[in-house]
Structure formats: C-alpha cells, structure tokens
Structure 1
C-alpha cells in the first residue's frame, strides 16, 4: 500500500506525461482491431492525430460494435477476449446499455481502484483496524448473455461483474458468500444478507446508499437493536458511490451514531473507475490517471453540437462544467459517458461530479432520463385519454423508515379519466422502459409508487414568469435530481391558494 501511494504521488506530479503514455498504450494495443483498422490507429502518433482521426461517440454510435461483441465476435473494439458486460440504463434507444469489460479493465481499473481506495484510506487513517473484520459489499446480479450462442459471456451490474471476478484473497475478507451476494431476487437477498452478516464482525461497508440503508434497517428489525453499532461495534468505514450522498448522510448518522465513522466517496461507473475521495476534510475526488483511461472534456455549452471539440487536462479550468469523454482499456473510444464534472483543483487534478449532460433523476440509482419520462407520460396519456401542457419531477428522499420515491407536478390540458389509473400507467411504463427503475420499484423495496400533483392550467406559465424565464429559449426543467424546482412550484401553488 505504501508503494502504491508513491505511484499515486507520481501521476499527480506528472499528470500530462502519464496520460500521454496511457493513450499511446491504448492505441498501440488496439491498432489491429476492427475499430483500430477503421480509424487507422497505426497512423496515430500523437494526441492531435488521435483527435483528428477518431470521432467522439455516444453509446448509440458504438452500439453496432457492442452488438457484435454481444453475439460472440472478438477483436472488435479491443484485442483481448470480452467475456463480461456491465449492464446499466440511461440510453435513449434501448431499455439497457451493455458496456464491454475486458480483463485489463478489471485488473488495471476496477480492481486497482478498489485497492487504491484502501491504500488511500490506510494512508489517511494509520490507526485503522479495518482488516480485523470483514467488508460487506452490496452488489447486483448477473446472468448468461443469451445473444452469445457459445454461452461464454455474461452481463450484470458492474458490482456483480467485479465481485464475480475478484481474486481468491479478496473473497476471504468479504461477506456474505457470493451465492447470496449475487442473488437477483432483492427482497430475499436483503433478508438473507441481514441474517448472515449480523453475525459477522463487519468493519466496512460499500455500496449504493439506498440499498445499504435498506439492509441496515432490516438488520435492526431482525436483531431488535437500536443502532448498527450494537450489531457491529467495530464498523468504521462506508465507501459509497453512484448517487449523491448528501440526502442520506443524516439517515446514516442516525443508524450509525459514531463520530469516528468514516465516509469515503468513489466515482466508479460501468465504464470505469475514475475518482477517489483522497482527503477526509473535502468531498473532492482525485482523478485517477493511470488506470488505462485517457480523459478528454467537452465544455458543457458545446455538448451535442455538430462540431464538438474535446480538450485535454492541459486546457481545463477550475469551476467550469465539462462533459467527460473517455478512451479505455475495454475499447470505448472517445466515448461520452453522460456525466458532467467540475475541476476544483488543477494540481493535482481533483473533481466534483456536477450532473448529467441531460435532465435526469438518479437519487436511488434508477438513472431516469428525460427520454424515459417523456415516453412513459405519453403512453399514460394515451391510455387515460388525457393531454398535458407541462410537467416536472424530482426525487422524494428517504426519511427515517419511509421509503423514497418520485414526485411529479403535472399540468393537464385535458384531465385523465382517472388520475389513479394515470399514475399506475406512468409507473408501469417507466418500469418497462428503464430496467434500473424497475429494479428499485420491485415490491416497493427501494422506491414507492410515484406521487402526482395535478395543477391548474397556467401554473407553469406563472412559475416561469416568477423566475424571469418566459420566452422561447427558456424551457421547463422536466427532471431534476434535487427538489429545488418542485418545491418552488408547490410553494407558489400554496401561496396562490
């Protein structure tokens, strides 16, 4: 671990040199692939040539190549065999997207990120006793890829892909066993995990806050204890990611009432492991530069324009919003992952996740994007013989033992025959469109059915007028990952009433 800290310090001192070396290794490794041949990787000798020859792409652009991989073809985007795909939602043309995961991506990115997280934590907390107990990881599930006729590849949540491929030594220090950790029936899984892990000496937790809260609450129900420290007195760390931790902090502090409890954020997505919170006094993330990922950034006002221009680390500025573009050791080439970030420091390069390139709700890991919402609400209108003028939606966060959900404000120009039926149709269509939303809604486990406020015609006009946002260039924000807009509208309605 001490050796690795020195290596981390090295890339913080020479970031541009390290990134140039990463890009050169990626291009040289993949020059004989189908994609490398198509874009003449053999002729790429510097960053400018790379940017000139290789296009910036979205998932939809890469999908034909990924579909080839899903059907068992190899050497398409990356030379080594692709046996795993990380499944997530958020794409506009399919219910789920499948991100190829190579062995290099596992070893040099995902696993390396996990080890670095521990190295940084130990470096910052030399008195830690983390390894005197076990780590509890709440992951997803995986299954055989049916498109591959050889049945030799699998897909699943990135957490499941990682856990299934962990080295043997790592399996000894984690709980519960894989057959339970990777179950796909979440209600039964939470019950079994609670029953088994409550008897272990758990010193660390890692996972998405939503599922972790559900597990902790279930453990308290089973054991009859008042808080988690009565179950796990040596618990000292929760490593979290995927969604903002701010709405959940108070819930965790009630469940784990200890000033010595540590919280550490990571930026680990299906596409790769990008950042680690390296200081306890700041929620900034150190951008990890030697994981086989080459980074570029598009200023947010240029995203999706015909002539998108991506810049390197040498040109970024503090405080500006950028869409992140990555080239990886799993064959994602100049790929827009959909996240936006802001730099808080340039020496070393530290970032904060600022959002998505599109309207979205991802308070519980559901990754609901505007395309999902608009399609579902259109279907619900058709089914209930209704029409809408405007809508916006936001999360309703977990509070104590109350589960979270989505809250919608909808202005109908023609009211539905039955508002309850409209709500049911909206929910069912969202579940059909978005697999992550569906998983969180399963048996009301993490998300309850949506709440809908039907408001009078003209409400959104008055709200936009109040905000000074009238005019053709100003649009009602359809989805937001916080409650700012929704509560502002509801407050305005209550005052008008």
Structure 2
C-alpha cells in the first residue's frame, strides 16, 4: 500500500501546474472556455435560436442570450427526459441529477452530460486530492480507503422506460466512476446507492467499520449520523478507535462552522484535517486550496463560464450581470453559470462573496431565496452561521441543526422578532447567554439588523427554541427528503418551514 500511496501522490501532484496556470491567467482561460462552449453548441436547437455562430464577444453573448432560472428551463429539461436530444447540448444526455433543493417542495432535474462528468465532477475529485497532497505531502491517504456518503438513483420521472437515468449528483458520479476508483472507496456500490436511508445507514456502518478508512467525503449532517451508528454498533467511544488512520474529512453542501465542535468530539485528534468543497447538481465550482482556511479557490477550467449578479440586482427581472473580471472583494453576488451540460446563463440560486481576486477565492454566503428581510434587516445565511457558531463556542454547546424565520406583527404579536429552532448535540451551559451572544453577534456583523434591534424599536430579542437532536431528521423524513443531498433551510422569509417544525415538537 505504501507503493500505491507514493505512486498516486506523484501522479496527482502533476495537476498543480495547470491549477497555477488558471490562477495566473483567469480571464483568458474563462474567455477561451466561453468561445469553446458556444462553438460546440452552435448547432443545437438553443444555439440556433440565439445565433451562437454569430457571437464574437462576451458582449454579444450577454446581449443575445437571456438569463434564466430552473422554472424557465424546466419545459426543455422535460423534453430531454422524454428522449429529445441536441436541444441544449450537442452530445447525448444520459443522466439527470435530481435535486430536491430547499426552496421548493418539488424535485428539480438537472441534465448531466458526459463532458460535465469527466471535465467537471471527476476532474474536481482529482483536484481535491491534488490540492490536499500539495498541502500535506506526508499524507498516507492511499494506504486505505475513502468513505463516500452519497445519495441514490431513481427512475426517470417523465418516462420510466427511458434509458435516461436519474439520481442525486453523488449517486450519478459513483455509478460512473472508473473501476480503479471503485476499488479505492467504500462502501460497495450496491450499499452506497441504496434508497431507503435508515437501512442504508445500517448497512454502510456494518460494511465500512471493517475497512481501513483514511478519508471521508460527504455532507456533515449525514456523516455524523453514520459515525454515530458505527460507534453504536462497535461499542467504541470515538471513531479513531475504529479507523485509527483516518486523516481528513472532505465536506460540502452546508457550512462546517456549526458542526466543527461535534466532529472534534467524534474524531478527537489534533491531526485530523478538514477540507471544504463547493459543488452542486449543476457543477463543481470551488475547492479549499490553503491549509486552515475558509476561503475556496474558484476552479476556472471545468467547462463552466461564470457571471455574477450584484446583491442589489437579485430581485430584478432583467438584472445586470458582470463577468469574473468585474467582481469586487467583499460584495455579495448571485452566481450565474454557463456549462458543458447545456445550462446557459443559469441562475443556480447560490450567493458568494469574493475574498481575493488574485487568485479568485470566495466564500459561500447563502442562497438568493434563503435570507430574512421581513423588516429591512437583510440577514443572510453567512450572518446566521457566524453568529450561531460563536454562540455555541462561547457556551460550550454543540450544534446539530437550525432554522429561523420572522415573527410578523399580528393580533397576538405587537412586536416583530426572529424565531429560531436550534437542535443541539450538547446544550449550551446557559441558554440565556447563548441567545444573548447570538443576538449581539448578529448586531455586530450586520448593521441593518443592528438598526432594527436598536432599543427594540423594530425587532425585539430573538425567540429561540432549544431542542434535543432528532427534530430536523423527523421533519426531513415527513417531507420524504431523508438522506442524500437533502438539507434543512437555514433561513426563510416565510414561516412555512418553521411552522411545520414547530408542529413536530
């Protein structure tokens, strides 16, 4: 295994030069990529409709091609699911990624081309390892197996007899991985793709606890569930007693800050490493490239051309978009992508904030529809996660999950507030102090919230429900969203999710 480890680290480090190239020449790389995408798709139905063959510049592209969200693309996606091809992309679409999302109760189906699999998702997986090895050349990662926690596959919702297959993006990736990668990961594909989540966790735990696991890749929430199941079955007190060679957790989908303390209790080693990634059904976008950093390097050669909508334009019907060279540090932007799976100027719903432009590094700040701005306070997910992480840290609490929404003025409420449901692995040593720190931190990092809280004139102190673990899992199960890439909406400007959770308490 040492020979394999040495060989793999040598192979993967060769990619670092190419990463340095796009860091040094980001705009040229992006411009060339856009030209390539337009040329490849000029004979598709979409390419003909918008005259891709005549587009000679970014300005032409921006003028001709409309910005669209999922709802505008949905009829075309459904035509592809029915078997039509070359509508958005020239090569055959054989896979769709199923994304339940958190802004809608219905599932979304996103096309995944072979190019997107190979040049984006697979390439990103290798880059994640390359960057990790570059930072930690002494790694023993390949002396054991990688535990991958993913979703499941399901039938084509439009035509169950079709050859087009559907699944969580993690499941689509797992199903298509080359044999050598399948050999290096656990659990078996049969177990990894099980659809019934509770049975899957049991089967994963029994299988994986017998392996020498050196790395884990997955969503923090469901990784915790799996680790706890393994500890329950094994009778061990922490996961290092099961996997003594575990060295890194590659995580994404939700902010890691609120979960860090819980992971440190489950994996009590100062040598344990955590590396963040930013990917979605629509593509793989960014990877943490520096040690002990919460900044992510925007990956510019994955077949994705980026544009951004400034915060003040999010809600406009015809927003102003800017390419990568126009972004500013510290400003919130909604992400718009054009991809090698046929998504053209597609709004993915995420918001980011750039921390550097040489190279382009960013932080995920939230969702365009996940915020609370009921009274002009403009609280975004990033604010909430910062505040709740600080409150937990200073009160010796361990957070499992949370969600918040406004309390509106009404017959029984003469003052507005924010209402939180927070699920704890370990309760704070003082609930009152936790609430005070959360509120005060929000005031410190968000001047709009602070102004509304001034002397309780517009908003009074937040109302917080401190609950034991299990509520959010119960809610997800009631929605048919247990497991996979499903996650709890952190913030909402309506009370729909919060009221459903309150009914389950």
TM-score by shorter chain over 0.5: yes
Which residue number in structure 2 is paired with residue 19 of structure 1?
30
Structure 2 equivalent of residue 396 of structure 1: 422
Q: 2:112 aligns with which of 101, 110, 119?
A: 101
- Residue of structure 2 in register with 1:310 after alignment: 321
Offset of 1:365 from its aligned partner?
A: 12
> Which residue of structure 2 aligns with residue 382 of structure 1?
none
Q: Per-residue deviation at 1:72?
A: 1.3
Deviating above 3 A after TM superposition, structure 1's stretches of 4 or more consecutive aligned residues are 90-94, 360-370, 386-395, 426-436, 438-442, 476-482
Structure 2 distance, partners of 1:105, 1:165, is 12
Q: Cα deviations across residues 310-336 of structure 1 (Å, max 9, x unaligned)?
A: 101111100000000000000110001
| C-alpha distance 199-222 of structure 1, shift in aligned 2 (>3 A) | same
What is the total number of aligned residue pairs between the two structures?
416
Distance in 2 (CA, whole Å) between partners of 1:85 and 1:365 is: 31
| 1:204 partner SS | strand
Per the alignment, residue 191 of structure 1 pairs with: 202
> 1:280 deviation in Å?
1.2
> Which deviations, in whole Å up to 9, do the C-alpha atoms of 1:217-260 show, x marking residues without a partner?
11111111111111000000000000011111000000000010
Separation of aligned partners in 2, 1:35 and 1:283? 38
Which residue is equivalent to 1:164?
A: 175
Kept after mapping to 2: 8 A contact 1:95/1:434: no
Aligned to 2:98: 87
Structure 1 counterpart of 2:66, from 55, 59, 74: 55
Aligned with residue 334 of structure 2, among 323, 344, 358: 323
Structure 2 CA distance for partners of 1:391 and 1:76, relative to 1, 3 Å: farther
Q: Which runs of 5+ in 2 are unaligned?
A: 1-11, 372-380, 386-398, 429-470, 499-505
Residue in 2 that maps onto 1:137 = 148
**Alignment match of 1:265 (pick from 267, 276, 289):** 276
Match of 1:111 in 2: 122
2:48 aligns with 37
SS of the residue corresponding to residue 425 of structure 2 reads coil
Q: What secondary structure, in the 3-state scheme, does the structure 1 residue paired with 2:15 have? A: helix
| 1:221–1:156 CA distance, 2 compared to 1 (3 A) | same
Q: 1:439 to 1:277 in 2, by over 3 A?
A: closer
In the alignment, the residues of structure 1 paired with residue 324 and residue 89 of structure 2 have an alpha-carbon distance, to the nearest angstrom, of: 25
The answer to whether 1:218 aligns with 2:244 is: no
2:263 pairs with 1:252: yes
Q: Secondary structure at the match of 2:322?
A: coil
**Matched residue, 1:177:** 188
> Structure 2 vs 1, CA of residues 67 and 477 (structure 1 numbering), >3 Å: closer, same or farther?
closer
Change in 2 beyond 3 A, CA 1:49/1:435: farther
- Cα 1:50–1:94, aligned 2, differ >3 Å: closer, same or farther? farther
Q: 1:78 to 1:433 in 2, by over 3 A?
A: farther
Partner of 2:370: 359
Deviation at residue 148 of structure 1 after TM alignment: 2.8
Alpha-carbon distance between aligned partners in 1 of 2:342 and 2:400, rounded to the nearest angstrom: 25
Once the two structures are TM-superposed, the CA of residue 307 in structure 1 deviates from its matched residue by 2.9
**Superposition deviation, residue 150 in structure 1:** 4.6
Q: Counterparts of 1:319 and 1:189 in 2: how far apart (Å)? A: 42
Q: Is 1:284–2:310 an aligned residue pair? A: no
CA contact (8 A) 1:393 1:479 kept: no
Quote the Cα distance in structure 1 between the aligned partners of 2:400 and 2:75.
Answer: 26
Tell me the equivalent position of 1:74.
85
Given that 1:130 and 1:204 are in contact with CA atoms closer than 8 Å, whether structure 2 keeps it comes out as: yes
- d(CA) in 2 for partners of 1:316 and 1:235? 39
Q: How far apart, CA to CA, are the structure 1 residues paired with 2:220 and 2:313?
A: 33
Given that residues 151 and 485 in structure 2 are in contact (C-alpha distance below 8 angstroms), is that contact kept between their aligned partners in structure 1?
A: no
CA-to-partner distance for each residue in 1:137-170, whole Å, 9 max, x for gaps? 0101011214236520111111111111111110
Tell me the alpha carbon deviations over residues 191-241 of structure 1, each in whole angstroms, 9 at most, x when there is no partner.
111111111100000100011001101111111111111100000000000
CA contact (8 A) 2:350 2:367 kept: yes
Q: Do 1:393 and 1:480's aligned partners in 2 also have CA atoms closer than 8 Å? A: no
Secondary structure in 1 matching 2:130: helix
Q: Greater CA deviation, 85-94 or 65-74?
A: 85-94
2: CA distance between counterparts of 1:367 and 1:33?
44
Could you say what secondary structure the match of 1:399 adopts? strand
Aligned-CA RMSD value: 3.5
Partner Cα separation in structure 2 for residue 123 and residue 71 of structure 1: 45
TM-score by length of 2: 0.76
Q: Say if 1:267 and 1:276, in contact at 8 Å, map to a contact too.
A: yes
Distance (Å, rounded) in 2 between the aligned partners of 1:5 and 1:428: 40
- Contact kept, 8 Å, 2:110 with 2:281, in 1: the verdict is yes
Question: How many angstroms apart in 1 are the aligned matches of 2:327 and 2:19?
Answer: 21
Structure-2 separation of matches of 1:145 and 1:169: 28
1:440-491 deviation digits (Å, cap 9, x = unpaired): 899xxx98xx9xxxxxxxxxxxxxxxxxxxxxxxxx9447999xxxxxxxxx
The secondary structure found in structure 2 opposite 1:136 is strand
Distance in 1 (alpha carbons) for counterparts of 2:203 and 2:102: 33
Scaled by the length of structure 1, the TM-score of the pair is: 0.77
What are the ranges of 5 or more consecutive residues in structure 1 without an aligned counterpart? 375-385, 403-425, 451-475, 483-497
Q: Output the CA distance in 1 between the equivalents of 2:346 and 2:294.
A: 26
Distance in 2 between residues matched to 1:314 and 1:332, nearest whole Å: 21
Flag the 1:153–1:205 CA change in 2: closer, same or farther, 3 A.
same
Sort the Cα spacing of 1:208 and 1:29 in 2 relative to 1 into closer, same or farther, 3 A. same
1:237 aligns with 2:248: yes
